[in-house]
Amino acid sequence: MADGPGLRISIYCAGCLHACKGCHNPQSWDIANGNWMTIDEIMDIIVKDEFSNVSFSGGDPFYQVEAFTELARRIKTETKKTIWCWTGFLLEEIQADERLSKLLPYLDVLVDGPFILEQRDTHLHFRGSPNQRIIYLTPKEDDVIPGTVDIIPFR
């Protein structure tokens, strides 16, 4: 499974409470297992790479939603990069939560839902089980590879 199409800077955050059976990265569940970085430090890395777009993964970025919202806001303000984000929450859960939903306007693509081990399919693009949806959040997404991903119009 890749972190989205093309060249990407992947930011793997620590912290996840979804506890999906068969999770590919259980060491990321404990937020103490990560290395603290400031948004400025991450932005320095992102800005220096003029070719790569950005992916948020983990862990689950929505467990640090305020920081990721500010990071995403800066990426969209200071660069032309697209952002893909993976989460164990469903889009509908995020939309219903005032706090979590603040990140959505800055994302281009959301890959949502928990990984379900019993439905594991290694042939899927960018997700581990078919319940996980690749949700197209922006009206124009230059990362789309026609024929390889499911796109669900959102806005």
Q: Measured between alpha carbons, how far is 146 from 80 in angstroms, rounded to an integer?
A: 21
Q: Of 3, 28, 103, 126, which lies in the binding site for ligand SF4, with binding defined by CB under 6 A?
A: 28
Site membership for ligand SF4, residue 11 (CB under 6 A): no
Rounded to 5 degrees, φ, ψ at 128 are -100, -25
Q: Of 10, 25, 101, 129, which lies in the binding site for ligand SF4, with binding defined by CB under 6 A?
A: 25
Q: Which residue is nearest to ligand SF4 (CB)?
A: 88
Q: Of 1, 2, 19, 151, which lies in the binding site for ligand SF4, with binding defined by CB under 6 A?
A: 19
Q: Of 56, 68, 106, 115, which lies in the binding site for ligand SF4, with binding defined by CB under 6 A?
A: 115
**Window 42-61: residues binding ligand SF4 (CB under 6 A):** 58-60
